[in-house]
Each structure stands twice: as structure tokens, then as C-alpha cells.
Homo-oligomer: A and B are copies of this chain.
Amino acid sequence: MTMVRCDMTMSLDGYICGPEAGQSGYLNEGFFRITSWLTELASLAAEPGGMAGGVDVTDVDDALVAEMFAQAGAYVMGRRMFDSGEGPWGPEPPFPAPVFVVTHRERAQLERDGGTTFFFVTEGVRAAVDRAKAAAGDFHVHVSGGAQIVQQMLAAGLIDELHLHISPVLLGGGTRLFSGDLPHVIELERFRVADSGNVTHLSFRLPTIPRCPLAAAAASD
């Protein structure tokens, strides 16, 4: 059974990027501060599109990134994240697999080096997940953001595992991962905690029945 896994790095105060405006969108100074644990890793540098030269590698972080790449058979991402990354990722984006971009704008598929093909899905997030699952084969579907797509997927019960990588910094403002409009409380099962000093990795399973009203959750305690 193909699983849908979402990995997001956020600051301790819940931001996935800083408040700075600009053409870079998500990929601003705050973003690079909190994702430095990831962008500086050797395992990422060894992948197509790897962004750095392997400084500050830690075993914990490195093992986690290796796990992510080993599992990923396809990716789902939001349009805003794609727009932010299309330029900076260059000819070999760090997603060596089919990538399904949820968007309202039709666009022909986009081939890149290293195994990346971007497909633009205009039928909504559920359709993008279905196509990604079909493409992933024996591997898993990975969701890398941005915030809106993660929120939509949580609300729709489309995520099986949520991996939050918490950077020990208070950005004080920016784009929140959790925008505060989930229709229901979601109880999670925390199944892994790992900490490298650079970042704390918390891994959760989401329930098969992903939504429960707060009253029901309290009653079952």
C-alpha cells in the first residue's frame, strides 16, 4: 500500500519561512535559516540537484534524509512552492521522480535532468495524490509543501505520516505551516523522536479515520 508522507521543516514558532517579501516567495532568508540542517547534508549533496557540499553533517539528520530519498517514488507539491523553486532548483531539481504540482493553471509537463518530471494537475489535491500514488509504484508519495497544500491534505485526510523537523529558532513572523482552519481536531500517534542538535525530528502517524470532533476525542480518553 502506497503511503503518503509529508515532511516539513518549521521554526519552533511554527513558520516555514520568514516574513520577508520578494520574488523568491517561500525561499527567503527565514526559509534558508530553518532548512540549513537539510541543505547542508551530504546525502542531499549526493543527490541530483544537491545544494551544498556536505558541511555540518550529522548522523541523525543524514540518516533521515537518506530515508526520505530512499522512500520517495513520487512527489506532490503546491503551485506556490513550485513557483518559488523552479528557478533556484535549476536543471536538476532535488526531486528525482515524478512531481505532481497542484495548480489552477494548465501547463504542459516539464522534463528536467536527474529523473524529475513536473506534471501540473488542475483537478485538485486528491487527483494529484491519486496520480502520484499510481506513479510511485512500490515506493511512497512525498509531500514537501508549501503550507496551503499541507493544510488541504490534512483537512482531507490524505496524509498518512507527518514528519516535522523543528528548528530551534523563533522567526517571529512569516508563513505558518498550520494556518488554523482545520475543520476538526486531529489526534496523532507520535512514533519517533530524533534530535541532532541542529533540529528535532518528530514523526507522527495520522489516524485512518483522520477527523474527530474534540468532544469525541475527549470522551474516549
Contacts and interface: CB of A to CB of B under 8 A. Distances in A.
Nearest to A155: B172
Given A173-B181, A200-B193, A33 B214 contact: yes
B186 A170 contact: yes
B172 A13 contact: no
B170 A188 contact: yes
Interface string A168-194: 111111101110111111111110010
Q: Which DSSP category, helix, strand, loop or mixed, fits chain A's interface?
A: mixed
Interface of A: 12-15, 18, 20, 29-30, 32-33, 36, 154, 164, 166, 168-174, 176-178, 180-190, 193, 195, 197, 200, 202, 204, 214-215, 217-218, 221
A210 to B, nearest CB: 10
A169 B187 contact: yes
11 contacts: A30-B185, A36-B221, A168-B187, A168-B190, A169-B185, A169-B217, A170-B182, A170-B185, A172-B180, A173-B181, A193-B193
Given A33-B185, A168-B204, A169-B185, 19 more contacts: A12-B204, A13-B177, A13-B180, A14-B14, A14-B176, A14-B178, A18-B185, A32-B218, A33-B217, A33-B218, A166-B202, A168-B187, A168-B190, A170-B186, A171-B185, A172-B178, A173-B180, A173-B182, A193-B195
Nearest to A29: B214
Contacts of A183: 172
Nearest to A36: B221
